[in-house]
């Protein structure tokens, strides 16, 4: 569990941890936040840790045994969009706090070989859950030009979404698009040369959009937040860390809407962002934004 957790101190503060309370980590990933929560809620505090990637859960089960945490850490391989169902199945009565760390694990681009990164030539898969029937390859080879353009525009905020979608359709008539490097060549051919040497890689937004589409990430966030607000006890806290504007907008709008309905109270007027020291140690944290609310 040596994964670098983002905004660790702030997460602990906003979750308002107390000994022996029960928390849910909806995106347990490498377990960094969870370990800290278990440490602060000793001796009998519990964490229900959820991850959609079965490999992640298998690795954590081994770690949990090594650290003798099995009695306090419940691990479930599922999607947090099914939060209420999971809590019911695990017979958890009271939940004091819930954490969503929406950043995808560094394990996925570094080691999964599922095409999450444009830095390596891999098959275009992009699934967190390998039982999901939809892959990036299927989208690129079978979806309509219009649908492909829309996901690039909506989920990637890509200004050349139309040109790239056209390029994909032209290429797939010649041969199937299967690898990350194939896709990068199409993207580069489709955009004006002067945009190929910007600060961010020209494929960044397209890769983000495909990942979101394959895993239906934005709808899952809405479903997860809705259920978190339902199951959390009075004064219970929900903390959400997002990594791009689309996620942050969903969280911000959700808090506004539920405040109007008098169900929750927002605890962060503006999102909390990492301090410079943290960004230096962990570059991945630079785009993180934390928002929190409590149940009224």
Q: What is the pLDDT of residues 13-65, one digit of tens each?
A: 999 999 999 999 999 988 999 999 999 999 999 999 999 888 889 999 999 99
118 pLDDT above the threshold of 70: yes
Residue 288 CA to its chain's centroid (Å): 11
pLDDT in tens, 236-259: 999 999 999 999 999 999 999 999
**pTM for the complete prediction?**
0.91
Domains of the chain: 8-107+217-295 (3.40.50.150), 109-215 (1.10.150.170)
- Residue 218 in this model has a pLDDT that exceeds 70: yes
| Cβ pair 284, 255 in contact under 8 A | no
Structure tokens at 188: 């580069």
Q: Give the per-residue pLDDT at 162.
A: 98
User: What is the per-residue pLDDT for 107?
Assistant: 60
Instruction: List the beta strands (DSSP E) in the chain.
Output: 22-25, 46-51, 73-77, 97-101, 237-242, 264-266, 289-295
CB 207, CB 118: distance < 8 Å: yes
User: Beta-strand (E) ranges in 20-130?
Assistant: 22-25, 46-51, 73-77, 97-101
Report the SS3 class of residue 175. coil
């Amino acid at each position: 569990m040596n994964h670098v957790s983002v905004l660790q101190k702030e997460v602990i503060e906003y979750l308002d941890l107390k000994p022996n309370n029960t928390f849910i980590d909806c995106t347990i990933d490498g377990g960094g936040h969870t370990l800290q929560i278990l440490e602060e809620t000793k001796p009998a505090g519990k964490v229900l840790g959820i991850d959609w990637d079965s490999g992640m859960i298998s690795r954590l089960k081994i770690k949990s045994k090594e650290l003798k945490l099995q009695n306090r850490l419940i691990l479930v391989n599922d999607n947090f969009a099914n939060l209420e169902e999971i809590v019911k199945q695990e017979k958890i009565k009271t939940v004091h706090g819930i954490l969503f760390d929406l950043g995808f694990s560094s394990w996925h681009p570094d080691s999964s070989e599922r095409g999450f990164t444009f830095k390596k030539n891999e098959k275009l898969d992009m699934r967190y859950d390998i039982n999901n029937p939809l892959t990036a390859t299927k989208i690129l080879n079978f979806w309509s030009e219009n649908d492909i353009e829309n996901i690039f525009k909506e989920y990637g905020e890509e200004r050349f979404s139309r040109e790239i979608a056209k390029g994909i359709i032209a290429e797939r008539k010649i041969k199937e698009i299967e690898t990350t490097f194939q896709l990068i060549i199409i993207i580069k051919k489709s955009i004006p040369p002067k945009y190929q040497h910007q600060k961010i890689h020209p494929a960044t937004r397209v890769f983000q959009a495909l990942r979101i589409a394959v895993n239906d990430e934005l709808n899952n966030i809405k479903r997860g937040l809705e259920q978190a607000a339902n199951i959390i006890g009075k004064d219970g806290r929900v903390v959400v860390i997002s990594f791009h504007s689309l996620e942050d907008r969903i969280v911000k709008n959700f808090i506004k809407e539920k405040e109007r309905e008098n169900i929750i109270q927002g605890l962060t007027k503006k999102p909390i962002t990492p301090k410079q020291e943290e960004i230096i140690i962990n570059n991945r944290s630079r785009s993180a934004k934390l928002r929190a609310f409590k149940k009224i």
